[in-house]
């Protein structure tokens, strides 16, 4: 199973492609879509959408997993994050990919074993789990972690749906 994980953001959207073969996880690619804070939000959302469409076409994931919104003190930041998530979800849905959402606590629990783990701990565990030569950039590591979370959850989801 090949999964695209997405850590959405209006300035930086991280992505990570992880493939499961048997009981092993393989790193395929990761990176960030970086938008200019000087650009209007609607153009940044277009850039996120287009960038993810390109990644989906290139890597053809079977599923897309995305980090769910956390609650923010700043309402403006939360709205922009929600719009970035919407652009990311739409890019997956328009490519006929099923989208799965996970909270930051679910992702951290699946990767580190502790729901309140730090970003540094997530980066180090994705490096270990995927045998990366170096620690991935924080947003890309979070996206890889979201993909790993989905792979770990897929067996349970399939059992609930009656699939094998």
Other beta carbons within 10 angstroms of residue 132's beta carbon come to 15
Q: Is 96 a known active-site residue?
A: no
Residues 6+ apart with CB under 8 A from 76: none
Secondary structure element (H or E) that encloses residue 34, with its range: strand 24-34
Q: Is 139 a known active-site residue?
A: yes
d(CA 141, CA 122): 7
Three-state DSSP class for 162? coil
Catalytic hit among 29, 62, 134, 139: 139
Q: Is 29 a known active-site residue?
A: no
Catalytic hit among 7, 60, 96, 101: 7
CB 84 within 8 A of CB 77: no
Catalytic hit among 47, 54, 62, 67: 67
The tokens for 27 are 């790193």
User: Catalytic residues, which ones?
Assistant: 7, 67, 139
């Amino acid at each position: 199973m090949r999964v695209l994980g997405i850590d959405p953001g209006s300035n930086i959207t991280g992505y990570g492609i992880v493939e499961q073969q048997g009981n092993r996880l393989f790193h395929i690619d990761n990176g960030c879509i970086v938008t200019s804070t000087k650009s209007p939000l609607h153009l940044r959302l277009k850039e996120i959408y287009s960038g993810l469409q390109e990644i989906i076409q290139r890597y053809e994931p079977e599923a897309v997993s995305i980090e769910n919104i956390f609650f923010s003190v700043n309402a403006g930041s939360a709205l922009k994050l929600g719009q970035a998530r919407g652009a990311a979800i739409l890019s997956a849905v328009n490519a006929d990919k099923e989208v799965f959402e996970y909270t930051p606590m679910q992702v951290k629990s699946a990767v580190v074993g502790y729901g309140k783990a730090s970003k540094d701990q997530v980066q180090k565990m994705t490096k270990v789990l995927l045998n990366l030569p170096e620690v991935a950039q924080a947003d890309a590591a979070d996206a890889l972690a979201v993909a790993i979370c989905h792979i770990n959850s897929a067996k349970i989801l399939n059992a609930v749906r009656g699939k094998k």
